[in-house]
Structure 1
Amino acid sequence: MKRVGWTVLIFCIVSLAAMPVYASNHTTIKDWSEINELTSEIWELGKIERYNEAADVLEFTSENITHIEDVLSLRPDQQRLVEYTFSDAITSLQNPEWTKEKKLNKLTEVRLLVDALQTNYEPLWKKTGLMMLEPFITMEKEIGDQNSTAFHQAANLLLERYETVRPALMVDLSPDKIEKLDEHVSYVDTNRIKILTDAEHQKHLEAAAADFEALFFAKKDNSEPSLFWLIFSIGGIISSTLFYVGWRKYKGDKEEELRVPGKR
């Protein structure tokens, strides 16, 4: 899947179809539910390229979040993160040189961040797992095919997607985990040529992929081969999504057989 696939998936994740306009119904914001409504509206406005209106709703939401900081129980670092993410998104909407995709990515940052602050169960960023892993799979495939252009495109995609998800991760993960992920992404970016040609650097790529896999998906039994190791070992994988779903179904069937003796 290419960049269009990322935008489509994010659209499904945040469930923004046919959202009504909420900003006109609010003079102040009182709780997280209203903030969620507004960030959903903002994304929808961006999708149909009504950037000025989206920026206005963003500014309205940001100002109100600042006013009710005590109600939302934001820590100082979270407050700064919200202010920066909202401000960055507003700037992107007001920049005529930015593409629609880049602007939507910035609005997605806002949506995922607000959701992470609001919920303690199954945050939306968890649902971006396959799209975060896809650049790793593509890079590994292009190493085998010796396609440096496609490899660099996949590396760029990793940077772009990680930037989109990172604010939400900062809410839910410890600083040590964020630092480790940052190091992985930075390593891939600064050592592209070496990764393409050197086996030792390729091991670092595999380690980074494994850590992202562990973050976005359930912890695996150590006795089982890594999902990424299987994918990297099988040539010609076109759809990592279908492969992953099939692998999960196979694992579930095996577990069911163990629970129910004699089941076929």
Structure 2
Amino acid sequence: MKKIIMVWFFFSIFFVSIVAMAEDTTSEEFKKLDEISNYAWQLSKQNRFEEAIQLLQYFDQEFKNIPINTKVYSVDELHVLTSSHHKALDALEKETIDPDEKIKAVTQFRLVVDAMISEHQPLWGTMEEPIMTTFSHLKSDMEEGDLQGFQQEWNEFLSLYEIIYPSLTVDVDDQNIKRVETHISAIEGNMFLELSEHTKFQQLLAMEEALQDIFHHADKNESDPSLLWVIITTGSIILLALTYAGWKKYKADLALKLQRKEIDK
């Protein structure tokens, strides 16, 4: 029994080490991709689109060479990454697209890559100030009854939110995103304009709270369920081994005491 426990113990330690090494390898490779995406982003902001295209093509080559560990990045996260990459590359390659839209697409991609490797303070979090400032203007326009100004600010808000949305799907809990999406749908609907001014303003306040919750509680949960299972299993085996050893020692001590009592008699 003791030998079996020890075999399982060493096997679990070995497995944990393999998982940790695989995660470290994948993370290091993604750091290289992060640097490439950053260079492409910087070039696009300088309107050096041809060079940015070359870097995004290089990114694609490097990404395909990475042995993806789905214990580190989920299938959904990888889909968001590849989708935003294709969108950015497509925008850069089309001459008919406005330069600002090209930069927007590359920025969106850049934020996704960063979100996948950042443990704290992801880049998309820096968008809090412009987004919340625009939202503040929305509330002011609503209070003043300036519907034209409200619509302009609303379009600006949607443009900014669209930039961070893909990275939110990587970093933020689905329920928090759905709260914001529900408010957006309600304000976009035809019924919104027919509501009372008080009800409209309350809708905006509720949406503002949902946005603040995203920005203030956006830290990604870095705990991987499979790795936690391994750690818990290993801990259980260690505890079992110690309990077994203690029980054996107790039985041996008890037997020794009984033997001494027999001798004393």
TM-score (norm 2): 0.65
1:65 aligns with 2:63: yes
Q: Root-mean-square deviation (CA), in Å?
A: 2.5
Q: 2:63 & 2:193 partners in 1: Cα distance?
A: 45
- Code of the aligned partner of 2:68: D
Post-superposition offset of 1:192: 8.4
Give the number of equivalent residue pairs.
191
Match for residue 41 of structure 2?
A: 43
CA change 1:85–1:110 in 2 (3 A) is same
* Matching residue of 1:168: 167
| In 2: Cα distance, 1:210 partner to 1:175 partner | 16
| Structure 2 unpaired stretches of 5+ | 1-26, 219-265
> Which of 27, 32, 35 is the equivalent residue of 1:34?
32
- Aligned mates of 2:134, 2:187 — CA distance in 1: 11
Mapped partners of 1:75, 1:217: distance in 2: 24
- Aligned twin of 1:214: 213
CA distance in 2, matches of 1:94, 1:161: 22
Amino acid in the other structure paired with 1:127: T
In 1, the alpha carbon distance for the partners of 2:133 and 2:210 equals 14
Q: Deviations over 1:107-126 (max 9, x none)?
A: 11111111110011111112
Amino acid at match of 1:62: D
The offset of 1:153, in angstroms, is 0.9
Question: Displacement, 1:179?
Answer: 1.7
User: Match of 1:188, as an amino acid?
Assistant: I
For the pair 1:157 / 2:156, whether they are aligned, the reply is: yes
> Does residue 52 of structure 2 align to residue 54 of structure 1?
yes
Contact 1:129 1:216 survives alignment (8 Å)? yes
Flag the 1:182–1:59 CA change in 2: closer, same or farther, 3 A. farther
Match for residue 145 of structure 1?
144
Q: Whose helix fraction is larger, Structure 1's or Structure 2's?
A: 2
Q: Any runs of at least 4 consecutive aligned residues in structure 1 with deviations exceeding 4 A, and if so which?
A: none
Kindly, what percent of the aligned residue pairs are identical? 21
Q: Aligned in 2, Cα 1:218/1:84: closer, same or farther, shift over 3 Å? A: closer
Is residue 192–residue 200 contact of structure 2 (8 Å, CA) maintained in 1?
no
- Counting only pairs closer than 5 Å after superposition, residues 1-264 of structure 1 correspond to structure 2 as 31-70=29-68, 73-191=72-190, 194=193, 198-217=197-216
Per-residue deviation, 1:52? 2.2
Aligned equivalents of 1:201 and 1:195: distance in 2?
9
d(CA) in 2 for partners of 1:194, 1:43: 39
Distance in 2 (alpha carbons) for counterparts of 1:99 and 1:86: 18
Q: How far apart are the structure 2 equivalents of 1:181 and 1:195?
A: 21
Q: Return the alpha-carbon distance in structure 2 between the equivalents of residues 42 and 195 of structure 1.
A: 45
Amino acid across the alignment from 2:79:
R
Residue number in structure 2 paired with 1:225 = none
Whole-angstrom distance in 1 between the partners of 2:170 and 2:215:
15
Paired letter, 1:150: G
CA distance in 2, matches of 1:200, 1:182: 18
**Cα distance in 2, alignment partners of residues 59 and 197 from structure 1:** 52
- Segments of 5+ residues of structure 1 without an aligned counterpart are 1-28, 220-264
When residues 77 and 140 of structure 1 are mapped into structure 2, their CA distance, relative to the original with a 3 A threshold, is same
Partners of 2:213 and 2:136 in 1: CA distance? 15
> Comparing both chains, which one has the higher relative contact order based on Cα–Cα distances under 8 Å and sequence gaps of 6 or more?
2
CA gap 1:109/1:69 in 2 versus in 1, 3 angstroms:
farther
Give the conservation status (yes or no) of the 8 Å contact 1:196–1:202. Answer: no
When residues 52 and 197 of structure 1 are mapped into structure 2, their CA distance, relative to the original with a 3 A threshold, is farther
